[in-house]
């Protein structure tokens, strides 16, 4: 068992170091191939050429403007020390051996990587649903690699860096766990299911499924964890299309979104906010009602007091000539009515004055005041 494990790992590492592998693509589809290079070549000219031998290969596309043709382009990522070649709308005549190369001024060019492209009309020998997968820090991603050749060794490797590989059921790459499971799907296709867990930001980069000398590159992007976490699961029942197979730095992956909205969840937070608002508004509304009631009561009381005072003044009857028991005449003070209660004549006309005389007549021992 140990010798078989060691042999598998050595073969995978040897395959990576030699750069000799095949890529199988369906007619009309696209493919993206990463080619890592040494940091010494970071400022040098990168290009792709095709031919049976590197010394005599013909240029297909290069990274300098114009960077691409109608069917091919090269992107030089100096941060990842990787030149990425994308070829679209592939036809059988595009099959052949390709070289990722670095142009050296004043010296021979350097071959960074090489591969053999096979464009076939049927189902590719090895393919994935999508070459771009996105995960979150601390989460996991699942990549399904579909293959037809069941007799060859299988594995999952990191492209570039130290080229770590896992060729058995489980292992680690750059400190993160990798689990491999060989199974079949509903259509009885052979599937190598790769689960990469415990993702870290430094796990962003290019990886590849390997079955024998066939490889299929997959780019994993790890993003920082936010309130919305996404776990991308690559599953399908159809062969990859042109849009699925191509990789673009601006392309957005298909994701299965698992929303994590805090310990209590977003809806509970909204409910708590609504409850807090109600607790504030209810006492405020009651306070407004009480204040309004007090103001209305106070105004009604003031109006009642004013009316009562006015009635007392208006209804008070004064006897101007009151005679007491001794027959003495008492002169009383006459309080005039308010102006608005008097029968005031038109402005500019004099008031009517009535003059009266006072005669005293004895009545039953009393003096009665009579007015003429």
Question: Tell me: the pLDDT tens digits for 290-322?
Answer: 898 888 888 888 888 877 777 665 555 445 445
Does residue 264 register a pLDDT over 60? no
What is the C-alpha separation between 192 and 212, in angstroms, rounded? Answer: 13
Return the pLDDT at 186.
83
Rounded (5°) CA angle 44-21-36:
25
Region 163-170: what's the mean pLDDT?
84
Asked if 182 and 245 count as a contact pair (C-beta separation under 8 A), the reply is no
Taking CA atoms, 146 is separated from 174, 177, 189, 243, 334, in Å, by 25, 21, 7, 18, 119
Return the pLDDT at 4.
42
Return the pLDDT at 359.
55
What is the C-alpha separation between 74 and 68, in angstroms, rounded? Answer: 7
Return the pLDDT at 272.
54
Asked if 60 and 105 count as a contact pair (C-beta separation under 8 A), the reply is no
Does residue 20 register a pLDDT over 70? no
What is the C-alpha separation between 149 and 169, in angstroms, rounded? Answer: 18
DSSP assignment of 339-361:
GGGS-PPPTTPPPP-----EEEE
Return the pLDDT at 44.
92
Q: What is the pTM of this model?
A: 0.57
Rounded (5°) CA angle 256-257-260:
145
Strands 205-211 and 154-158: antiparallel
Return the pLDDT at 319.
52
Percent over 70 (pLDDT), the chain? 62
Tell me the three state secondary structure of residue 227: coil
- Give 148 or 245, the one with higher predicted confidence: 148
Asked if 99 and 110 count as a contact pair (C-beta separation under 8 A), the reply is no
Q: Is the peptide bond before 256 cis (omega within 30 degrees of 0)?
A: no
Q: How confident is the model at residue 246 (pLDDT cuts 50, 70, 90)?
A: very low
Asked if 135 and 230 count as a contact pair (C-beta separation under 8 A), the reply is yes
| Count of other CB atoms within 10 angstroms of residue 160 | 18
Two tokens at 39?
């940091």
Q: How confident is the model at residue 232 (pLDDT cuts 50, 70, 90)?
A: very low
Return the pLDDT at 258.
43
Does residue 334 register a pLDDT over 80? no
**Ramachandran region, residue 140 (left: φ > 0; alpha: ψ -120 to 50; beta: rest):** beta
Q: Report the helix count and the strand count for the chain, using DSSP H and E.
A: 3, 24
100 class by beta-carbon count within 10 Å (0-12 exposed, 13-18 middle, 19+ buried):
buried
Model confidence pLDDT, tens digit, residues 45-76: 899 999 999 999 998 988 776 666 668 899 99
Asked if 369 and 358 count as a contact pair (C-beta separation under 8 A), the reply is yes
Does residue 219 register a pLDDT over 90? yes
Return the pLDDT at 315.
54
Q: How confident is the model at residue 330 (pLDDT cuts 50, 70, 90)?
A: low
């Amino acid at each position: 068992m140990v010798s078989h494990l060691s042999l598998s790992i050595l073969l995978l590492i040897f395959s990576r170091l030699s750069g000799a592998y095949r890529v199988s693509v369906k007619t009309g589809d696209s493919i993206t191939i990463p080619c890592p290079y040494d940091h010494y070549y970071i400022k040098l000219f990168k290009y792709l050429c095709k031919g049976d031998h590197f010394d005599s290969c013909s240029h297909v596309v290069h990274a300098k403007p114009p960077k691409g043709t109608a069917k091919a382009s090269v992107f030089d990522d100096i941060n990842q020390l990787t030149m990425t070649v994308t070829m679209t709308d592939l036809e059988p005549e595009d099959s052949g051996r390709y070289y990722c190369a670095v142009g050296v001024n004043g010296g021979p060019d350097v071959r960074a990587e090489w591969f053999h492209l096979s464009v076939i009309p049927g189902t590719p020998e090895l393919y994935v649903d999508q070459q771009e997968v996105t995960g979150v820090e601390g989460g996991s991603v699942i990549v399904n690699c579909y293959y037809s050749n069941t007799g060859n060794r299988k594995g999952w490797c990191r492209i570039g860096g130290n080229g770590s590989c896992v060729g058995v059921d489980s292992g680690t790459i750059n400190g993160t766990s990798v689990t491999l499971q060989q199974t079949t799907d509903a259509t009885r296709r052979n599937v190598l299911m790769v689960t990469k867990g415990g993702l870290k930001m430094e796990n962003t980069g290019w990886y590849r499924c390997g079955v024998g000398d066939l490889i299929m590159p997959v780019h994993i992007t790890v993003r920082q964890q936010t309130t919305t976490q996404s776990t991308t699961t690559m599953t399908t029942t159809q062969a990859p299309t042109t849009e699925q197979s191509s990789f673009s730095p601006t392309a957005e992956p298909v994701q299965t979104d698992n929303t994590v909205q805090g310990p209590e969840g977003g809806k509970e937070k909204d409910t708590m906010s609504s409850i807090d608002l109600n607790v504030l508004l209810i006492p405020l509304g009651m306070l407004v009602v009480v204040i309004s009631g007090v103001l209305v009561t106070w105004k009604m009381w003031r109006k009642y007091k004013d009316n009562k005072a006015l009635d007392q003044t208006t209804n008070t009857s004064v006897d101007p000539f009151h005679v007491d028991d001794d027959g003495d005449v008492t002169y009383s003070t006459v309080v005039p009515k308010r102006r608005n209660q008097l029968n005031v004549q038109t402005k500019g006309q004099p008031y009517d004055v009535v003059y009266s005389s006072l005669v005293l007549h004895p009545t039953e021992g009393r003096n009665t005041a009579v007015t003429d």
